[in-house]
Structure 1
Amino acid sequence: SRDFFLMPSLAQEFEQLVSSLQPPPSCLISDEVCGTLAKSARLLGIPRYILVPESASAFAATLLAPSLARDSKLPLQVARNETVDIPFIGMTVVAREYLSPYLDTFPWRADYFLEGAIEAQASDGILVNTYRELEPSILSGMVRDTCLNPHRAPVFAVGPLIPEPSSTVGSHRQEEEAEIMEFLDAQAPSSVVFVSFGTLIQRNEKDAREILSGLEQSGHPFIWKFSGDGDYVPTGAEKSGLILRNWAPQLRILSHPSTGSFLTHCGWNSCLESSSLGVPILGFPAFMDQPINCKLLVELRKAGVKLATLESFQIAEAIKEVMESEEIRRNAQKLKL
């Protein structure tokens, strides 16, 4: 967000505001990106904790940036396919794809984010939106690894930071939600596929047709929260599923006993919601932390499968695998809170 880059110019006003508070604050909790606030916390004489909204596994890649800088590997070259190994989880990522803030196309931005990573390592504590059953290795490793955490800042798993599934919606959505719950109530336990690719990713007509065909070939009822990049809207699935435009009560759907799997882009909130509710995933990640999140659930926790493409036959086969695999369902249940 561009707002991050305004923080240095607002530091003095922020410090004056905090100094005027009564009683004075006992600590400062801020996003891990904004190193400017670390300087303000030191000036004000209060501890600074960082709140990490992403997975510990993805954040570990960010904490590698200072070591890359010491090895003169920053800013990253757009034209090169350098890789970064994330310790404790056996994962290798293409640096320019995941660590995009550090690309040489915007050196000033790389410097800004590097300062944030350095200050994150020097914080008084790291609060991560995850839970130990989901990421035990990286949470333990992050405490003792001198490359990721040279100052031994304590690491706290404070997640999942998600609302209760029973949270009510506004009155303008109640009728729509009632229709969805009625559909779920009429299905067999663990039989429904829920499909959502988040709020940022929009599917084109070709992908949408393949997804619809794959869902129908699977033979399972489904609920699809559809967001498209044009005028096309999937139709003709009234007998086998619900297609919703742009909104769905995701937590209520995932927590319903009829829901058996979740086709997702693997955004971290979606991963937390599905794992904490014991729902296996079908992962189709796109960018940033999503491939790391998908690998965490599919390869490390073995609580789902990853889709290589959105071709209909692959979708149908993946749905059948997840729905019929006792091992996958058992592993997903182990993550349930």
Structure 2
Amino acid sequence: MSSNSSLHIVIFPFMSKGHTIPMLHLTRLLLLRRGITITIVTTQANSPFIRQSLYDTQPPVNVIELAFPANIPQLPPGVESTDRLPSMSLFVPLANATKLMQPDFERVLKSLSASGGISFIISDGFFGWTQQSAEKFGIPRLVFSGMNNYTMTICGVLAGDRSHLRLGPDEPFTVPGFPWVNLTMNDFDPTFNDPELKGPHMEFIMEVATATSKSQGIVVNSFYELEPTYLDYWNREFVPKAWCVGPLCLAEPPKVDRDQKPEWIKWLDQKSAEGRSVLYVAFGSQAEISPEQLREMADGLEQSEVCFLWVVRSKVEGLEERVKERGLVVREWVDQVEILRHESVNGFMSHCGWNSAMESICASVPILAWPMMAEQPFNARMVAEELGVGLRIVASNGSVRGFVSSEIVEKMVRELMEGEEGKKARRKVKDIGKAARKAMEGGSSWRTLDQLIDETCRKKDP
């Protein structure tokens, strides 16, 4: 640990639950070190969630609110987070709008620097502009990454070797330096397959990548033992240094006994009492699923005859009546970690966002990976092919993108919950779950966080 008697860290999460929640877990981990003060910067609409999540921390966390820019073309009034966007096609306008907060953010840095100093900043990778602010005040900036080392490294390699762009969308190819990794063009978000590297989305990505390369390091929600080959490669071939300090969900405090449990926990308790195994189904708050695909999902779950708890925003006509006691459909926000830790839950059909994958691994629950967007196809390959902690759903035409029939859903659900491949994944995820907990309980991730603090503070005060 640093010899500094008191450290002050500024944390700035991106306005999306999938980015904010792990940074709040990181906040809890940092507060376990003595002499650390934390200030979180956020917008007014996102502040209540952060304050509620950290109400019990000691010492208390200081939360500073910035006004989100008004009258942004394309953005509906009052939208300050991805959860509220009518479509993820508006992500880039939302992210770019945050640049207008830079003067207010710099006033906060100036004030905090004058009243005792800032040791370093941890800001989300999407806030590339905060690197300029950090440089202006001579404060080290660390980037919080929502990706794992596997995805970071493979994308880093293929950004330099773009020979795969001449292939068809589903034609397999291997990654230079990683001959066991097989991909297709459809594993990438379409933006990355543009040979011209043009357009607002690509410009935003390039800005973020440039700012990240100038930062002091990347904080990664993973642990060394999970992906040593990729972390070592990244730290040998790319900059800045990546630091694995996760799985951060293990910093979530256990739920205290409540007089009034949510209905979905009562339902899981009932399934547990009946000795029945439950498949948890959730695709995050940002997946955009067509009505036709939702119907196929519903039909496949119904035909599988497996018990399931499905968190979905859209109404699935008639499903609850047809599955009666065997299935529960929930449309409100749920505590995913609490669900995955429930003894009745023995499988997770997931979009394979990295937080969800980590939470499932830590709960020793195997994953049925059904990626929807962004880097999720990479996570799905990692889960199924690299780690063996889950199975993978592919489209009816064999592509990693496209329409999935109810027959495929039924077959894969049964295989995960009852088949031999599912049993193998269940054994593997238990072993990796144990390694994850060991990494956080005084192991590699715990030590890495101490080293990160020391090294970053030394760069500020040579």
TM-score band by shorter chain is 0.7 to 0.9
2:339 is the alignment partner of 1:253: yes
Match of 1:221 in 2: 307
Match of 2:127 in 1: 34
Once the 2 structures are TM-superposed, how far is the Cα of residue 130 of structure 1 from its aligned partner?
A: 1.7
Match of 1:94 in 2: 185
Match of 1:279 in 2: 365
Once the two structures are superposed, residues 44-65 of structure 1 have per-residue CA deviations (whole angstroms, 9 ceiling, x without a partner) of 1121111102222333355458
Residues 260, 279 of structure 1: 8 Å contact kept: yes
For 2:330 and 2:176, the matched residues in 1 are separated by 38
Once the 2 structures are TM-superposed, how far is the Cα of residue 43 of structure 1 from its aligned partner?
A: 2.3
Once the 2 structures are TM-superposed, how far is the Cα of residue 299 of structure 1 from its aligned partner?
A: 0.7
Q: 1:204-215 residue pairs with structure 2 within 5 A? A: 204-215=290-301
Q: TM-score, normalised to structure 1's length?
A: 0.80
Kindly provide the amino acid, as one letter, of the partner of residue 323 in structure 2.
A
Match of 2:54 in 1: none
Match of 2:269 in 1: 182
Match of 1:19 in 2: 110
More helix by percentage: 2
Residues 62, 117 of structure 1: 8 Å contact kept: no
Give 3-state SS (helix, strand or coil) of 1:20's partner. helix
Give 3-state SS (helix, strand or coil) of 2:222's partner. coil
Give 3-state SS (helix, strand or coil) of 1:25's partner. coil
Q: 1:103-252 residue pairs with structure 2 within 5 A? A: 107=199, 109-145=201-237, 149=238, 151=239, 153-162=240-249, 164=252, 166-167=254-255, 174-188=261-275, 191-228=277-314, 232-235=317-320, 236-252=322-338
2:419 is the alignment partner of 1:327: no
Of residues 88, 95, 99 in structure 2, which corresponds to 1:4? 95
Once the two structures are superposed, residues 162-209 of structure 1 have per-residue CA deviations (whole angstroms, 9 ceiling, x without a partner) of 3637446999x84424432333322437x2211112222354454344
Residues 112 and 263 (structure 1), Cα distance of their counterparts in 2 relative to 1, 3 Å cut: closer
Residues 66, 118 of structure 1: 8 Å contact kept: no
Once the two structures are superposed, residues 145-168 of structure 1 have per-residue CA deviations (whole angstroms, 9 ceiling, x without a partner) of 2xxx1x4x3321122233637446
Q: TM-score, normalised to structure 2's length?
A: 0.60
For 1:226 and 1:96, the matched residues in 2 are separated by 24
Cα RMSD (Å) of the superposition? 3.5
Match of 1:318 in 2: 412
Give 3-state SS (helix, strand or coil) of 2:225's partner. coil
User: Which stretch of structure 1 is more off in the superposition, 153-162 or 197-206?
Assistant: 197-206
Give 3-state SS (helix, strand or coil) of 1:130's partner. coil
Give 3-state SS (helix, strand or coil) of 2:323's partner. coil
Once the 2 structures are TM-superposed, how far is the Cα of residue 311 of structure 1 from its aligned partner?
A: 2.3
User: Which stretch of structure 1 is more off in the superposition, 39-48 or 282-291?
Assistant: 39-48
For 2:291 and 2:352, the matched residues in 1 are separated by 21
Q: Unaligned regions of 5+ residues in structure 1, if any?
A: none
Residues 165, 251 of structure 1: 8 Å contact kept: no
For 2:413 and 2:129, the matched residues in 1 are separated by 46
Kindly provide the amino acid, as one letter, of the partner of residue 414 in structure 2.
K
User: Which stretch of structure 1 is more off in the superposition, 266-275 or 311-320?
Assistant: 311-320
Once the two structures are superposed, residues 259-299 of structure 1 have per-residue CA deviations (whole angstroms, 9 ceiling, x without a partner) of 11111111222111111111111111122111011001001
Kindly provide the amino acid, as one letter, of the partner of residue 198 in structure 1.
G
For 1:243 and 1:48, the matched residues in 2 are separated by 42
User: Which stretch of structure 1 is more off in the superposition, 94-103 or 241-250?
Assistant: 94-103
Give 3-state SS (helix, strand or coil) of 1:195's partner. strand
Residues 102, 109 of structure 1: 8 Å contact kept: no
Residues 309, 327 of structure 2: 8 Å contact kept: yes
Kindly provide the amino acid, as one letter, of the partner of residue 164 in structure 1.
E
User: Which stretch of structure 1 is more off in the superposition, 290-299 or 15-24?
Assistant: 15-24
2:144 is the alignment partner of 1:51: yes
User: Which stretch of structure 1 is more off in the superposition, 1-10 or 44-53?
Assistant: 1-10
List 4+ stretches of structure 1 deviating above 6 A.
Answer: 79-84, 168-171
For 2:254 and 2:124, the matched residues in 1 are separated by 28
Give 3-state SS (helix, strand or coil) of 2:219's partner. strand
Once the two structures are superposed, residues 6-28 of structure 1 have per-residue CA deviations (whole angstroms, 9 ceiling, x without a partner) of 45555444334312212110112
Residues 312 and 95 (structure 1), Cα distance of their counterparts in 2 relative to 1, 3 Å cut: closer
Residues 95 and 28 (structure 1), Cα distance of their counterparts in 2 relative to 1, 3 Å cut: farther
Once the 2 structures are TM-superposed, how far is the Cα of residue 99 of structure 1 from its aligned partner?
A: 6.5
Percent identical among aligned pairs is 27
